[in-house]
Amino acid sequence: MDKIKVKQAVVVEGKYDKIALSKVIDGVIITTDGFGIYSNKDTIKLIQLYAKSVGLIILTDSDTAGQQIRGRIKSIVGDAEIINVYCPVIYGKERRKLHASKEGKLGVEGMSIAVLKEAFKKAGLTGDKDIVREPVTRQDMIFLGLNGAPDSSHLREKIALSLGLPEKLSSNALRDAVSTLMGREAFIEYVNDLKGEKK
């Protein structure tokens, strides 16, 4: 099976995520050991080093903890090149665990090879030539009613769920995700269609 070659280092939460992902990509995979990203200075330095040299791909679980870890990684690398890859929200339990997670969502380790490959493809990472998309701006988010409007958090949640993203994404996190997944023009059209408005 052909693996996706990536030049960036991929950051995941744990060793089982790394094992699952190593079947899909050919590249460096770093683990945060969950919330160890908050205290492990060696891991922080390693992530910062890769962020400055080759860039990062972040792939965390689609739960609240995964979003917090993703946010922490972004805060420690500043304005380095980051590509966000999101697993779809799938409910279930990993084989090695006795019980489902607190939120009942499968983590990276529970995703099939096909689902992980599709997540990388959606992020523009195919192993050939990375797809470059025009990013969505903060002004776009405001104009579309996704930031600063009375119902913006509800609309963000609706859009995130419709795209198979974690539902509680902040405005910035959603903007980063859709910039990678579809780009500015396609996103504006998508939101307007969802709201039943014309461009």
What are the structural domain ranges in the chain?
4-122, 138-195
Topology of domain 4-122 in CATH is: Dna Topoisomerase Vi A Subunit; Chain: A, domain 2 (3.40.1360)
How would you write the pLDDT of the chain (199 residues) with one tens digit per residue? Answer: 689 988 899 999 999 999 999 999 988 899 999 999 999 998 998 899 889 888 899 999 989 999 999 999 999 998 888 999 999 888 888 888 878 788 889 999 999 999 999 999 988 888 766 566 788 999 999 999 999 989 999 999 999 888 877 777 788 888 887 887 788 998 999 999 988 865 4
pTM exceeds 0.85 for this model: no
Cα distances from 15 to residues 43, 53, 66, 128, 168, in angstroms, run 14, 23, 15, 27, 25
Give the list of residues 6+ apart from residue 168 with CB closer than 8 angstroms, or none: 64, 67, 157, 160
Question: What's the DSSP call for residue 91?
Answer: B
Crossing angle of the two packed helices 152-162 and 171-181, in degrees rounded to 10:
30
Please count the residues of the chain: 199
